Amino acid sequence: MTTQATAPVLFDLDGTLLDTPRAIVSVLDRVLAESSRPAPPREQVRATVGRPLVAAFGELLNLPHEHAEVEAAVARFRELFRETVVPEAKSMVFPGVPELLERLRREGRPLAIVTSKIRAGAEELLEPAGLTGHFDAIVCHGMAPRGKPHPDLALLAARQLNRAPEECLVVGDAVDDMRMACAAGMRAIGVSYGVATAGQLLDAGAQMVCETVRALGETPGALRSSAVTAHRS
């Protein structure tokens, strides 16, 4: 039987391992400014971080996902992201993340990325960030029938790690990460240094919220406890 010390951990990417949300919002703003549509409120733009790009631009442009303007906006976003954000990937790794991942690997924990990015988008960040080698599985949007907050991506990650869903722990900064974990029957820990607040994460099903990577890695029980609490460090 798997012990808590070797339980798999499924990490979100943007806002959890990499400090990309502000850069993503900046690129979203640039793409939206180039469109002929009215600019949505800043809060609405930020709330789409972590969602698949098609869904984000569909909402922000108030258009169907299959609309040509949405497709063009997605393509433009990826172009600008590669040009302006990817070269800075190494500097965007949150302090303490490499050490946390190394420690979890030493403990014998299987690790996975579960992200709303497509595979190419995830890899183009993970490689220059120096994080790819830490993970046994990289599960991305489009690899399962439904994306976050549905359970499909998390369940696929569990299968790729050859573990039962109830053994797994999801760590993420977004409401959809917590909802995905709950729908998959997995424990969930939120991190409030990304997009969502501690209250939003707890309301969405997080069993614990950590405000820093240090708290996540060093707090007794942070990666094991099922206590509902917000923790600072």
Cβ-based neighbour number of residue 193 at 10 Å? 16
Q: Which two tokens stand for residue 73?
A: 């906006």
Residue-wise pLDDT tens digits, 113-158 = 999 999 999 999 999 999 999 999 999 999 999 999 999 999 999 9
For residues 58 and 70, what is the distance between their CA atoms, to the nearest angstrom?
Answer: 6
What is the reported pLDDT for 6? Answer: 82
Residue-wise pLDDT tens digits, 8-23 = 999 999 999 999 998 9
Backbone angles phi, psi at 137, to 5 degrees: -150, 140
Supply the mean pLDDT for the chain.
Answer: 91
Q: Which residues are catalytic?
A: 12, 14
Residue-wise pLDDT tens digits, 24-49 = 999 999 999 999 888 899 889 988 98
* CB-based contacts of 69-74 (< 8 A; 24+ apart in sequence): 69/35, 69/37, 73/31, 73/32, 73/35
Confidence of residue 221 (pLDDT cuts 50, 70, 90): low
Amino acid type, 155: L
Nearest to 5 by CA among 127, 120, 187, 167: 167
Return the SS3 of 128.
helix
Q: What share of the chain in percent tops pLDDT 90?
A: 82
